[in-house]
Amino acid sequence: MPPVVPPFLIGLVVAPLAKRLLEPLVRGVVTTSVGVVMEAKRAAHEAGESIHDLAAEVAADVVAARIASDDGRRPTEGALSDGEKGEAVDRAEGEAGTSKARTTAGAGRAQTT
Protein backbone atom coordinates (compact mmCIF):
# COMPACT_ATOMS: atom_id res chain seq x y z
CA MET A 1 0.00 0.00 0.00
CA PRO A 2 1.47 3.39 -1.03
CA PRO A 3 2.08 5.91 1.67
CA VAL A 4 -0.77 8.36 2.22
CA VAL A 5 0.26 11.98 1.67
CA PRO A 6 -2.10 14.54 3.18
CA PRO A 7 -3.42 17.05 0.61
CA PHE A 8 -2.18 20.03 2.61
CA LEU A 9 1.42 18.78 2.20
CA ILE A 10 0.90 18.68 -1.57
CA GLY A 11 -0.41 22.23 -1.35
CA LEU A 12 2.65 23.36 0.61
CA VAL A 13 4.93 22.04 -2.12
CA VAL A 14 2.86 23.13 -5.13
CA ALA A 15 1.96 26.67 -3.92
CA PRO A 16 5.45 28.21 -4.35
CA LEU A 17 5.81 26.59 -7.76
CA ALA A 18 2.40 27.86 -8.85
CA LYS A 19 3.28 31.34 -7.60
CA ARG A 20 6.46 31.38 -9.67
CA LEU A 21 4.60 30.26 -12.78
CA LEU A 22 1.38 32.23 -12.37
CA GLU A 23 2.78 35.60 -11.22
CA PRO A 24 4.25 36.58 -14.63
CA LEU A 25 1.09 35.36 -16.36
CA VAL A 26 -1.18 37.41 -14.10
CA ARG A 27 1.12 40.43 -14.41
CA GLY A 28 0.94 40.19 -18.22
CA VAL A 29 -2.85 39.90 -18.18
CA VAL A 30 -3.18 42.96 -15.92
CA THR A 31 -0.70 44.99 -17.99
CA THR A 32 -2.51 44.13 -21.21
CA SER A 33 -5.90 44.95 -19.66
CA VAL A 34 -4.71 48.35 -18.47
CA GLY A 35 -3.27 49.08 -21.91
CA VAL A 36 -6.55 48.14 -23.62
CA VAL A 37 -8.55 50.32 -21.24
CA MET A 38 -6.24 53.31 -21.77
CA GLU A 39 -6.48 52.88 -25.55
CA ALA A 40 -10.29 52.68 -25.36
CA LYS A 41 -10.40 55.86 -23.26
CA ARG A 42 -8.19 57.67 -25.78
CA ALA A 43 -10.35 56.53 -28.68
CA ALA A 44 -13.53 57.63 -26.88
CA HIS A 45 -11.96 61.02 -26.13
CA GLU A 46 -11.01 61.50 -29.78
CA ALA A 47 -14.51 60.51 -30.90
CA GLY A 48 -15.99 63.04 -28.47
CA GLU A 49 -13.72 65.76 -29.82
CA SER A 50 -14.74 64.88 -33.38
CA ILE A 51 -18.42 65.13 -32.49
CA HIS A 52 -17.81 68.44 -30.73
CA ASP A 53 -15.95 69.79 -33.78
CA LEU A 54 -18.74 68.63 -36.08
CA ALA A 55 -21.37 70.32 -33.89
CA ALA A 56 -19.35 73.56 -33.91
CA GLU A 57 -19.09 73.47 -37.71
CA VAL A 58 -22.82 72.88 -38.09
CA ALA A 59 -23.58 75.73 -35.68
CA ALA A 60 -21.28 78.03 -37.66
CA ASP A 61 -23.01 77.03 -40.90
CA VAL A 62 -26.42 77.73 -39.39
CA VAL A 63 -25.30 81.14 -38.14
CA ALA A 64 -23.76 81.96 -41.53
CA ALA A 65 -26.96 80.94 -43.30
CA ARG A 66 -29.03 83.02 -40.90
CA ILE A 67 -26.77 86.05 -41.45
CA ALA A 68 -26.95 85.56 -45.22
CA SER A 69 -30.74 85.41 -45.10
CA ASP A 70 -30.89 88.52 -42.89
CA ASP A 71 -28.76 90.52 -45.36
CA GLY A 72 -31.71 90.72 -47.75
CA ARG A 73 -33.94 92.36 -45.14
CA ARG A 74 -33.02 95.88 -44.13
CA PRO A 75 -34.60 97.34 -40.99
CA THR A 76 -36.84 100.33 -41.45
CA GLU A 77 -35.27 103.71 -40.82
CA GLY A 78 -34.89 104.43 -37.08
CA ALA A 79 -35.36 100.79 -36.06
CA LEU A 80 -32.45 98.81 -34.65
CA SER A 81 -31.65 95.27 -35.63
CA ASP A 82 -31.06 92.63 -32.92
CA GLY A 83 -27.27 93.04 -33.13
CA GLU A 84 -27.51 96.83 -32.92
CA LYS A 85 -29.86 96.56 -29.95
CA GLY A 86 -27.33 94.35 -28.15
CA GLU A 87 -24.55 96.83 -28.86
CA ALA A 88 -26.69 99.70 -27.60
CA VAL A 89 -27.44 97.82 -24.38
CA ASP A 90 -23.74 96.98 -23.91
CA ARG A 91 -22.78 100.66 -24.40
CA ALA A 92 -25.44 101.79 -21.95
CA GLU A 93 -24.26 99.30 -19.34
CA GLY A 94 -20.63 100.26 -19.92
CA GLU A 95 -21.46 103.92 -19.41
CA ALA A 96 -23.38 103.13 -16.23
CA GLY A 97 -20.34 101.32 -14.82
CA THR A 98 -21.95 97.90 -14.58
CA SER A 99 -20.55 94.85 -16.25
CA LYS A 100 -22.60 92.26 -18.00
CA ALA A 101 -21.60 88.68 -17.21
CA ARG A 102 -21.50 86.43 -20.22
CA THR A 103 -21.38 82.69 -20.12
CA THR A 104 -20.36 80.24 -22.77
CA ALA A 105 -21.47 76.68 -23.36
CA GLY A 106 -18.15 75.13 -22.35
CA ALA A 107 -17.18 77.49 -19.53
CA GLY A 108 -17.17 74.86 -16.78
CA ARG A 109 -15.55 72.00 -18.69
CA ALA A 110 -11.95 71.01 -18.26
CA GLN A 111 -10.21 69.17 -21.07
CA THR A 112 -7.69 66.51 -20.33
CA THR A 113 -5.37 65.06 -22.91
CA distance 86 to 81: 9
Who contacts 45 (Cβ-Cβ below 8 Å, separation ≥6)?
113
Burial 78-88 (b: 16+ CB within 10 A, else e): eeeeeeeeeee
Give 43-53 pLDDT, tens digit per residue. 999 999 999 99
CA distance 33 to 44: 16
pLDDT the model gives residue 8:
81
pTM exceeds 0.85:
no
Low-confidence ranges of the chain (pLDDT < 50): 97-109, 113
SS3 30: helix
